[in-house]
Amino acid sequence: MKTLGYIVTDKKLTKIDGFVEQVNDITLADSTKPILVIGWKNAKKYSGYKSILDKSLGDNVYWTFSRSESRSDFEQDIEKFYNIIYNNILNKVNYIYIDICKLRYSKIKKLYNIIFSKDVKSIYISNNIIYIPFGGNILGLSLDVLEYCGINKDKVISKIKSNPNNIVFEDNDKNVFKIVKHLGNKKYALPYFISS
């Protein structure tokens, strides 16, 4: 998975989402992505620290108490931090549904080239929709509509999976389940969270 945010702490955390990287120094974090500093003593070291009531340390940098300082704050703030990351991505992702019945041959050929290109990409298949990342967008393609057009959906799925550059995820993957519960009706964005 690609790193979409950072948690800064000296203590090893378990059960953090795979798209969040743990580092022991803020200089190791990409400042363009959300950062959460763990521990009140650590937070006080930063010039952006104001008080225990203000959990912001600056632009896109936050802090929370360590689990031993305040377990409830720690758990709530971790959840808020994840929501910040989710919302950052959801605000950037543009979903485009593609009705294969309305496409000209040249567009169908282009779609084929996107799906079967040599670019490594994470493709998500859920509820008979294929979600394909392309150029900052997510393309959605209905397997039911493909079937209606006379294209066997099982063959399409098999062909997609046979491309070694396609990393295919479905709802039964444990990483998918954890992320989808946060995305709600915007699960089309999942390829951005789970891509390598």
Same domain for 73 and 113, yes or no, is no
User: What is the per-residue pLDDT for 1?
Assistant: 67
pLDDT of residue 5: 94
Is the same domain home to 98 and 187? yes
pLDDT grade, residue 176 (50/70/90)?
confident
Kindly state whether residues 162 and 74 are assigned to the same domain: no
Domain boundary among 26, 59, 91: 91
Lowest mean pLDDT among 11-15, 102-106, 125-129: 11-15
Give yes or no for residue 30 having a pLDDT over 90: yes
pTM of the shown model? 0.80
| Total domains, the chain | 2
Give the pLDDT band of residue 195 (cuts 50, 70, 90): low
In a shared domain, residues 182 and 122: yes
Q: What would the DSSP string read from start to end of the chain?
A: ----EEEE-SSPPSS--TTEEEESSGGGS-TTS-EEEE-HHHHTTSTT---TT--EEETTEEEE--TTT-HHHHHHHHHHHHHHHHHHHHHH-EEEEE-GGG--HHHHHHHHHHHTSSS-EEEEEETTEEEEEETTEEEEEEHHHHHHTT--HHHHHHHHHHSTTEEEEETTSHHHHHHHHHHGGGGGGHHHHH--
Residue ending a domain, among 91, 120, 140, is 91
Per-residue pLDDT at 125 exceeds 60: yes
Tell whether 30 and 64 lie within a shared domain.
yes
The answer to whether residues 148 and 62 belong to one domain is: no
* pLDDT tens digit sequence for 76-98: 999 999 999 999 888 888 999 99
Same domain, yes or no, for 39 and 109? no
Of 47, 68, 91, which closes a domain?
91
Structural domain boundaries, residue 85: 5-91
Longest dimension (CA), the chain: 64
